[in-house]
Amino acid sequence: MSSSPPSYQHTVLVAVGSGLACHLVFKHYEPTAPSAHLGLLVAIPGILTWIFIPHCPNFALAFASSFFIYVTSLVTSIVIYRLGLFHPLAKYPGPMMCKLSKLWMSYICTTGKQHIYYHSLHDKYGDIVRIGPNELSIRDAAAVDPMMGSQGLPKGPVWAGRNPEHVGKALIEISGPEHNRRRRPWNRAFNSEALKGYEEIIENRATQLMQTLGNQIGPTNLAMWISYFTFDFMSDMAFGGGSEMLRDGDRDGIRQALHNSSVLTTAMGHSPWFGQYYKHISMGAEKRRFREFTIQRAQIRMKEGSVTKDVFHHFLNEDGTDTHPPSLSEVTADSTLVIVAGSDTTSTLMCSLFWFIMCNATVYRRLRDEIDNVFPAGENVLDPSKHVHMNYLNAVVNETLRLLPPVLSGSQRVVEKGSGAAALGSHMIPEGTAVFSHFYSLHRDPRYFSPLPDTFWPDRWLSEGARTSPFSPTRKGPANIDVVLDRTAFTPFSFGPSNCVGKNLAIQEIRMVVCLMLQSFDMQLAEGYDAQRWEKDLEDRLISHVGELPVVLTARKS
């Protein structure tokens, strides 16, 4: 006697229960492998199809029924849990869309205004905001050290979605002892002795930039030329050459490929599971193209050896310092990072600085006067030993870094599961939670920078007797105002063991080019250019995308 099939009601309950059970399992981790996605969304409904067949006229309808009921149960369970009172982050405020899914932040990333969105959330909700189902953004200087210091948290899952699993990890993606080992050659490549050896490379490229700009007639896009300069310079630094964009432009589209690929790459950081499908998307081809360029240059550099002690001299352990030199996959992974971290971030900072001073005539004149006083006619304006002591130049650089840091939205860390809750300032963060220290918001917080935290006022970085009032910038003498300047909240190059190892090179490069530029040219924004466009066009793509910066350059008389 054959048993009768379960009733339709029981069949539906089995499908609903399967969805609930899957949520109970997968809420503890987010699978990124396509095979896991296939099992979750196809295999389980496929198995359930067999108990639906007696109640459906054909297999297709049985599968559709099982799939719909199973997925509806799964999604409903997820929504109720993430919005409910029993979620570990239930007490933290934030938009409902952020609590539901990281896909919302992926969408925000595609707009390029992630930094503005986070900033608006902090203005609305306070110092700690829930920006994902299991993620918080923190605007609190007291949280910086416990989050990113020597005893801080490991890197978060944002990196898991940016590269397919078969691609080697660059230094920026790893934490702990492995990061310490991999960072050693970077530290040698950017220490003070190494920087001294790079001065001639900067001088040669900076001189070429001035010659190129001097040949321009009428308004010229300064942002484009500076980006070409930094790309050529970093190619010299990393590979001993291989790029001549100042001479030829981006004729091979390599720089454009980097920018195009970063649009989707940043969005995928919020949805790591999507990263494994990246290689099948056209924009993934752009990223592969840029990576192949850097790997090709690295291979050529490895084959030909070094003429000078460039960055790869240290990466390749050519002086035999490391007993365990890096592998080929590590070197090629870091080759991409060298160009990205050293070119786009520096060019954006440099252009932003020029934009700020051209919008502030008093700042422009004071900076130019300092340069002229330190470097009278006939003296070498590219002498970095004097730049260190130029107080106003360094104040202008710091103020640019404060308002528009290289990585606008900061750095993600994670409280690992099994480690217990972590104390970040006055906040106890549950395990399994990803956290951001949002640099853009931190740098504009009046508790740490006042007065006028959103205003470009370099004098805040000067000693009290050297300041002029931001409310009357032409007035001589000190500013009789209370100034708050909390350097613990100033993190333009991140913080701790994973901070930007090339920050001193970037600062040196910016100082040299700014001094040479203001000694060589009078600068002004092109007529008809809306000065507010620079910040409006700025896009947060991990690296910053910038718009045009049309300027008119007039050669200064000696």
Q: Residue 1: what pLDDT?
A: 46
The owner of tokens 């993606």 is: 173
The dihedrals phi and psi of 432, each to the nearest 5 degrees, come to 85, 5
Both 60 and 181 in one domain: the answer is: no
Tokens of 238: 């990393």
Q: What share of the chain is helix, strand, coil (3-state, %, to 5)?
A: 55, 10, 35
| Numbers of helices and strands, H then E, in the chain | 24, 13
Q: Which one-letter DSSP state was computed for residue 190?
A: T
Tell me which residue has tokens 């949805």: 271
Average pLDDT estimate for 116-121 = 98
97: in domain? no
Give me the pLDDT at residue 78, please: 94
272 inside domain: yes
**How far apart, in Å, are the Cα atoms of 480 and each of 63, 112, 447, 454?**
76, 39, 19, 20
Q: Supply φ then ψ for residue 34, to 5 degrees.
A: -55, -30
Residues 181 and 314 in one domain: yes
Using a pLDDT cut of 70, give the percent of the chain over it: 95
Which among 60, 83, 106 is the end of a domain?
A: 83
User: 80 in helix, strand or coil?
Assistant: helix
Residue 283 vs residue 512, higher pLDDT? 512
| 203 and 71 housed in the same domain | no
Write down the pLDDT at residue 166: 55
pLDDT tops 90 at residue 270: no
Q: Give phi and psi for 474, each to the nearest 5.
A: -90, -5
Beta partners for 543?
A: 541
- Whether residue 175 sits in one domain with residue 57: no
Measured distance CA(147)–CA(149) in Å, rounded: 6
Q: Are residues 212 and 67 in the same domain?
A: no
Tell me the two tokens of residue 529: 């250019």
| Within-domain flag for 49 | yes
Residues 79 and 176 in one domain: no
Domain count of the fold of the chain: 2
C-alpha to C-alpha distances, 171 to 166, 180, 442, nearest whole angstrom: 16, 9, 25
Is 474 part of a structural domain of the chain? no
Residue ending a domain, among 33, 59, 83, is 83
In tens, the pLDDT along 413-425 reads 999 999 999 999 9
Q: Is residue 455 part of a domain?
A: no
160 DSSP assignment: T
The residue among 83, 98, 120 that closes a domain is 83
Q: Given this model, what pLDDT does residue 462 score? A: 96
At 339, which CATH number? Answer: 1.10.630.10
Instruction: Tell me if 74 sits within 8 A of 44, measured CB to CB.
Output: no
Give the length of the chain.
Answer: 558
Q: State the average pLDDT over residues 148-157.
A: 92
| pLDDT, tens only, 60-85 | 999 999 999 999 999 999 999 999 99
pLDDT at residue 298 tops 70: yes
Is the pLDDT assigned to residue 26 strictly greater than 70? yes
- Residue 120, in any domain of the structure: no
Backbone angles phi, psi at 525, to 5 degrees: -65, 145
Confidence of residue 476 (pLDDT cuts 50, 70, 90): low
Q: Are residues 290 and 184 in the same domain?
A: yes
- In a shared domain, residues 383 and 239: yes
3-state secondary structure 461-515: HCCHHHCCCCCCCCCCCCCCCCCEECHHHCCECECHHHCCCCHHHHHHHHHHHHH
Residue 317's pLDDT band, with cuts at 50, 70 and 90, is confident
- Average pLDDT, rounded, for the chain: 89
Query: Does 500 appear as a known binding residue?
Result: yes
For residue 131, pLDDT over 50 is answered with yes
Domain span at residue 27 reads: 8-83
Six-digit token string for 19: 């969805």
> Quick one: pLDDT band at residue 278, thresholds 50, 70, 90?
low
Task: Tell whether 254 is covered by a domain.
Answer: yes
Residue-by-residue DSSP string for 279-329? GGSHHHHHHHHHHHHHHHHHHHHHHH--SS--HHHHHTTTT---SSPPPHH
Two structure tokens written together for 32: 């990124």
Q: What is the arithmetic mean of pLDDT over 132-150? A: 96
Who's near 194: CB < 8 A, 6+ residues apart? 188, 309, 314
Mean pLDDT of 324-338: 77
Say if 162 falls within a structural domain: no
- For residues 277 and 392, membership in a common domain is answered with yes
Same domain, 285 and 419: yes
Shared domain check, 432 and 286: yes
Distance, CA of 494 to CA of 405 (rounded, Å): 9
Asked if residue 215 and residue 351 are part of one domain, the reply reads yes
pLDDT of residue 315: 82
